Chains A and B, each alone.
Chain A
């Protein structure tokens, strides 16, 4: 069933405002999404009625706050089909989650001469932690290449797995630049057969499609609440036995069982990885975001975005100076290979100028390298303009975008 976008927009107070006198056309959800009333309300309710620190107080308010916090953890676990809520670690953002794995698991398991495999389409968050771990350990960092059509060259993986030196493969579930959906399940099968772990970056995928960590065969999955209608909090999911064997990443309160003057014992998973007071209201807000998305249905969200992307690609093809990244020689890809992100360049026009002129039409897009510099290098452009779609976008938004791009050309051409 198609989404009722008008009704969904009603749930997001921000769409009541104007930008430069125009209707807000928000096409930057891949950077961070807008927030529905349900999420804002859940956080406000926490602060106004049931706020106290968690896991500490023996009074009823603290117990209420703890129950709400842990209830959100359970909702988040079900959302990605994690077998156990204890496998959900609340962190600051997906970046922190990936760093946690690279430091905690990486420091103890990666040795000189080992190999870490990532892909060319990774966001810097799933690239730099591995690059730096490789530097620290004298390990090798290898890339699975991306072809002109934005697909992973999977043939490159078996040779990298053949000598048994590869200990971990890190792979995004969805490119934040191309919208491409790498075959992560296949990557996981191949990596596991060679004894390597698989770390998946779900920052783009989890907000936009059903993600099932068990079906994917992931060992770790990181994602961000703020990209999925929630507040600024991130999640790291990991298989329980892996988390249990890992040392803490940060030390302090709440992660501790016993502290003596010269040694300490750690709390159980997940608390071992949640040092200090967590973002309590934010986690509760993310629980509300999960409820909100579940009510729409993640299959429906995914289908909606593929429909918008297909429409946007067709409309952008009308503009001869617009070149979409990662679509080979312009062949439209099968929709199941793409999700709601399109990055493009415009002949002779810098992305900054595109974004600034679109802003005058109320259209919010991202301009730059979108934290994926090696991928832009791969496609031979220093930067691009990116339009990304979510549940509150529709064909009208695409039409406004295309009209505004026409204005860009008219403003800047000679």
Chain B
């Protein structure tokens, strides 16, 4: 599985992540970590007037899977509503990452950006 896991597409995102950085005055601003692995993500996002995600940026450190997932996630969720993001799960993330099959141990790495986004949206609800 692992040689497949380290395919070019994911390594490209890992080495040259999209939307790497921090949005000022963001609607969503959250840090989340996987304490057992040491993966950390700081996710910021803005919503438009229709309640859709318009901009997302992330910074953080972690394994190839968590960082590639975060990079792809910042593009993937643009234009999505809160309800659409809330409904996302592991299969969506696996599909987003080009159809990888994640082993049990790597699932929480890949889900870190989605979980951060869900938590961030929950915390910002009152503010938006």
Interface stretch (choices A110-118, A150-158, A264-272, A348-356): A348-356
- Given A382-B37, A383-B38, 15 new contacts (CB under 8 A): A350-B38, A350-B61, A350-B63, A351-B38, A352-B106, A353-B6, A356-B2, A356-B5, A356-B106, A360-B3, A367-B37, A368-B38, A369-B38, A373-B35, A381-B38
A-side residues, CB < 8 A to B, are 350-353, 356-357, 359-360, 367-369, 373, 381-383, 411-412, 414
Q: Is there an interface contact between A357 and B109, defined as CB atoms closer than 8 Å?
A: no
Q: Is there an interface contact between B6 and A411, defined as CB atoms closer than 8 Å?
A: yes
User: Number of contacting residues on B, CB 8 A?
Assistant: 21
B23 CB to nearest chain A CB (Å)? 25
Kindly state the separation between the CA atoms of A351 and B5 in the bound complex, as whole angstroms: 15
B70 within 8 A of A: no
B65 within 8 A of A: yes
Among A352, A357, A414, the residue within 8 A (CB) of B37 is: A352
Q: Write out the residue numbers on chain B whose beta carbons fall within 8 Å of the beta carbon of A411.
A: 3, 6, 11
Contact code string B105-125 (vs A, CB < 8 Å = 1, else 0): 110010000000000000000
B110 CB to nearest chain A CB (Å)? 11
Tell me which residues from 92 to 115 in chain B have a Cβ below 8 Å from any Cβ of chain A.
Answer: 105-106, 109
Q: Is there an interface contact between B36 and A368, defined as CB atoms closer than 8 Å?
A: yes
Kindly state the separation between the CA atoms of A350 and B38 in the bound complex, as whole angstroms: 9
Considering the complex, give the chain B residue whose CB is closest to the CB of A350.
B63
Knowing A357-B2, A412-B11, the reply to whether A352 touches B63 (Cβ < 8 A) is yes
Kindly state the separation between the CA atoms of A382 and B60 in the bound complex, as whole angstroms: 13
Kindly state the separation between the CA atoms of A368 and B14 in the bound complex, as whole angstroms: 20
Q: Is there an interface contact between A412 and B64, defined as CB atoms closer than 8 Å?
A: yes
Q: Write out the residue numbers on chain B whose beta carbons fall within 8 Å of the beta carbon of A360.
A: 2-3
Tell me which residues from 29 to 58 in chain B have a Cβ below 8 Å from any Cβ of chain A.
Answer: 35-40
28 cross-chain CB contacts under 8 A: A350-B37, A350-B63, A350-B64, A351-B38, A352-B37, A352-B62, A352-B63, A352-B65, A352-B105, A352-B106, A353-B63, A353-B65, A356-B5, A356-B6, A357-B2, A360-B2, A360-B3, A368-B36, A369-B36, A373-B35, A382-B38, A383-B37, A411-B3, A412-B6, A412-B14, A412-B64, A414-B11, A414-B15
A271 CB to nearest chain B CB (Å)? 38
Considering the complex, give the chain B residue whose CB is closest to the CB of A382.
B38
Q: Write out the residue numbers on chain B whose beta carbons fall within 8 Å of the beta carbon of A381.
A: 38
Kindly state the separation between the CA atoms of A206 and B67 in the bound complex, as whole angstroms: 40
B87 CB to nearest chain A CB (Å)? 28
Q: Write out the residue numbers on chain A whose beta carbons fall within 8 Å of the beta carbon of B15.
A: 414
Considering the complex, give the chain A residue whose CB is closest to the CB of B62.
A350
Q: Write out the residue numbers on chain B whose beta carbons fall within 8 Å of the beta carbon of A350.
A: 37-39, 61-64
Considering the complex, give the chain B residue whose CB is closest to the CB of A352.
B63
Q: Write out the residue numbers on chain A whose beta carbons fall within 8 Å of the beta carbon of B6.
A: 353, 356-357, 411-412
Q: Is there an interface contact between B38 and A353, defined as CB atoms closer than 8 Å?
A: no
Q: Write out the residue numbers on chain A whose beta carbons fall within 8 Å of the beta carbon of B106.
A: 352, 356
Knowing A368-B36, A412-B64, the reply to whether A352 touches B2 (Cβ < 8 A) is no
